[in-house]
A and B are shown apart, each in its own frame.
Chain A
């Protein structure tokens, strides 16, 4: 009997109208497949919120996509694929392969109770899959700036009095599903439940303002939901983790940190914000908008090493003297890092060369939004590297990227690019 045919295809739309864009992204994705897709990964920028809404966008997809196709995805800041690199529009990856088992699952209230969200999806994703060779794709929401009474969604509040008061509200905000994403906890929980397989994914976001984001799960638009897609397949799976971080000769000692490890109160004996700004000669104005903090904080993150990988600590909020990080700060000594374009290009180039020797069928990558923010229009240089592979590829730009392999362990990273590649080599499982 002939080996079943594996097909992958990338879809794309630049239309503004949500419904039309949904239809077009599905049409372009499935038109090259000779069989209906086995699963459909869908990503879009936040713009459709204003041009018909995401439900209409999804309705457009389902106008075209065969009913019952497992679909997961969400909003991202941009993406690169075989068509180009974009910060507006929609993109999809459709894969068709008869000899593959695909199961989708959803867990809710990721910020309020990440463990429960993982428990819920664990019931849906059976550990007994068709093959022993599995990959779990994970989509979850990023942090959202808390909506404070009388203040709104603001990422910098310099008043110490107000800042200290609002810090006390953070646990309440978490219960309301605002605040940090807890993606680092989720990847830990998932890796314990599914320790035998590769897990790769990322956090949905808006246009880097951190005000809202959405997840797409089959026919529904979700908020604060963990989506997973388990793919059980007798094909070789490859992963590559690319970090472009460079360590600088500046370090910080954390003197006082909250129990949950998200709020640094004192650095080097002084208020955390003052210490950081003084040492880095930073001047960030308190403004109603949310842009400037992220531009500075993302280029020069404070980091710590976990296992073999550098983790960038992402400052999401400044309340008074308190620095509030999106992820847990797991070390009392932090090193100043910077995102090096040279390192990104060199490391990615090596990974692409590595994959080029493997007879790859398709690529799904999860990259950090900072890559776009740092590279700007030079991001097309990254796209050129992917073009060398000559296979369908889709890389959404997200707000935090998770990776787990039994060898690497669980990591929720920032300023990284994790690549998942399905190879043509059949393995006996």
Chain B
């Protein structure tokens, strides 16, 4: 994963103090994780329950992404989980942040990360000779 350009985008996100964890994921599958030491310690104890809740949210994303669902979020205890959907896919950029964080600033960086990842995905698909509608 070390040379994966998407992992490098996630590494950048994870460096922000208020991003406790981030990943590119879909239902029942985490596709890309940051290349370093996975998530910050704050989420370790709550990860199992968050992970289960995430899978339920991915059900909704799968159903509504084709109709233009762009973002989703839920709050669980002291954490908030943000989903930035990649257009017309069942995948999303996901981040776990403190519930009281200044979310606006994080949302700007989430959007920048989503745009970067989309570019990388498009380039990768082009290399493979696949055309995507994203």
A207 in complex: contacting residue of B71, B105, B107, B111, CB < 8 Å? B105
Encoded as 1 (CB less than 8 Å from any A CB) or 0, chain B from 99 to 122 comes to: 011111111111110000000000
A88 at the interface (CB under 8 A from B): yes
A208 and B105 contact, CB distance less than 8 A: yes
A287 at the interface (CB under 8 A from B): yes
Q: Tell me how many residues of B have a C-beta within 8 Å of chain A.
A: 20
CB distance from A213 to the nearest CB of B (A): 15
A-side contacts of B17, CB under 8 Å: 207
Q: Choose the segment among A96-104, A129-137, A145-153, A289-297 that binds chain B (4+ C-beta atoms closer than 8 Å).
A: A289-297
In whole angstroms, what is the CA distance A295 to B12 when docked? Answer: 25
Contact residues, B8-54 vs A (CB, 8 A): 12, 15-17
Given contacts A16-B15, A88-B16, contact A375 B104 (CB under 8 A): yes
In whole angstroms, what is the CA distance A379 to B103 when docked? Answer: 13
A372 and B15 contact, CB distance less than 8 A: no
A289 and B100 contact, CB distance less than 8 A: yes
A87 and B100 contact, CB distance less than 8 A: no
B-side contacts of A372, CB under 8 Å: 104-105, 108
B104 in complex: contacting residue of A16, A47, A88, A374, CB < 8 Å? A374
| Residue among A47, A78, A88, A377 having the largest count of chain B Cβ atoms under 10 Å | A377
A-side contacts of B101, CB under 8 Å: 291
Given contacts A86-B109, A377-B71, A377-B110, contact A287 B104 (CB under 8 A): no
Chain A interface category by residue count: 20 to 34
A379 in complex: contacting residue of B12, B100, B106, B108, CB < 8 Å? B108
Encoded as 1 (CB less than 8 Å from any B CB) or 0, chain A from 173 to 203 comes to: 0000000000000000000000000000000
A252 at the interface (CB under 8 A from B): no
Given contacts A16-B15, A88-B16, contact A376 B109 (CB under 8 A): no
A86 and B108 contact, CB distance less than 8 A: yes
CB distance from B125 to the nearest CB of A (A): 23
B105 and A377 contact, CB distance less than 8 A: no
CB distance from A288 to the nearest CB of B (A): 11
User: Looking across the interface, which residue of chain A has its beta carbon closest to that of B105?
Assistant: A87
Since A87-B109, A377-B71 are in contact, a sample of 20 more A-B pairs with Cβ atoms closer than 8 Å, ordered by chain A residue number, is: A14-B12, A47-B16, A77-B105, A78-B105, A85-B108, A86-B109, A86-B112, A87-B106, A88-B109, A207-B17, A209-B102, A287-B100, A289-B98, A291-B98, A291-B102, A292-B100, A376-B103, A377-B107, A379-B104, A380-B111
Residues of A within 8 A of B (CB): 14, 16, 47, 77-78, 84-88, 207-209, 287, 289, 291-292, 294-295, 372-377, 379-380
Residues of B within 8 A of A (CB): 12, 15-17, 71, 84, 98, 100-112
Sorted nearest first, the 5 A-B pairs with minimum C-beta distance are A376-B107, A373-B104, A377-B111, A291-B100, A87-B105
